[in-house]
Structure 1
Amino acid sequence: MAVVVAATTAGLMLGLFDFLIRPTGWQMGFSILPQRSSDPYWWTIGLSYLNTVVLALLAVIVATVVGTVMAIIIVGRNPVWKMVAVAYVQLFRNMPLLLQALFWFAVIAHGPAPRQAYSFIGVRLTNRGMEIPILTLSGLIALTAGLFTLLAVFWVSRSFIPPQWGRLGFASLASCGAIGVAYVFSIPESMVSFPQLQGFSFAGGLHVPTEFLAIWIALSMYGSAYVAEIVRGGFQTVPVGMIEAAKSLALPLWAIEAKVRIPVALRAIVLPLASQFTVLIKATSIGLAVGFTDLFAVTLMSINQSGRTIGLLWLMTVGFVLINQLILSLFGFINRAVEIPNYGQR
Structure 2
Amino acid sequence: MFQKDVCNMEWELLGIILAGLASLTHYFFKIPVDFPSPSNLKDNREIRFDILRGFAMIGIVMIHIHSYFQFFHPKDHLVIHSTLFLSNISRFSVPIFILTSAIFLKKKSGYWKSKLNHLVLPYFIFSIFGYLIKYQNYSFSEFTFFFLFGKVFTPFYFVPLLIQFYILFYVLNSVFIRETWNFWILLLSFVINLVSNLGYLDPILPNVYHSISIFNYLFFFVLGISIVQRKSSVQNSNQNTNFILFVFFLVVVVLMILFSYLLEIDFKNHHLFYPIFMMMFVWIHLHNFRPKIAKILSYIGNHSLYIFLLHPFIIHFMHSFDPYIFGGPILGYIITLLLNVGLPVLISSIVQKGKILYQSHHFS
User: TM (normalized to structure 2)?
Assistant: 0.27
More strand by share: 1
More helix by share: 2
User: TM (normalized to structure 1)?
Assistant: 0.28
Bigger relative CO (Cα 8 Å, ≥ 6 apart) = 2
